[in-house]
Amino acid sequence: MIIYNVTSNIDESVHEQWLVWIKEHIPHVLATGCFIEAKLTRVLVEEDLGGATYSVQYRANSREDLERYYNTYADALRQEAFKRFADKVLAFRTELEVIDEYSVTIN
């Protein structure tokens, strides 16, 4: 299992518009069939840059699914964000490999 994490710092001037947009954008990314789920989270730290920081974690079943996303869809979806928000959104991407998962069962 692979997690494709996109962390974005959003300028206050476009924060509300970006939040509406990302909630519409995530289903488009999932519709590629490359990921099985996504989580949108807010990073709870004060940024030196100001603005708000969010993380979207997309979960792929395999490295091959992530590569298919890169090769087929990533450029167009990234350009869509850049056209809307230009330098008002700074994003960086990381890949995480899930080694093991744990949960608590409450009786």
Residue 104 falls inside a structural domain: no
Q: How many domains is the chain built from?
A: 1
Is 90 exceeded by the pLDDT of residue 27?
Answer: yes
Q: Which pTM value belongs to this model?
A: 0.90
Residue 102 falls inside a structural domain: no
pLDDT digits (tens, 9 = 90+) for 71-99: 999 999 889 889 999 999 999 999 999 99
Domain containing 6 equals 2-97
Task: Give which of 2, 27, 4, 10 is closest to 86, Cα–Cα.
Answer: 10
Residue 107 falls inside a structural domain: no
Is 80 exceeded by the pLDDT of residue 46?
Answer: no
Write down the pLDDT at residue 49: 72
For residue 54, give the CATH number of its domain: 3.30.70.100
The sign of the torsion formed by the CA atoms of 75, 17, 9, 83 equals positive
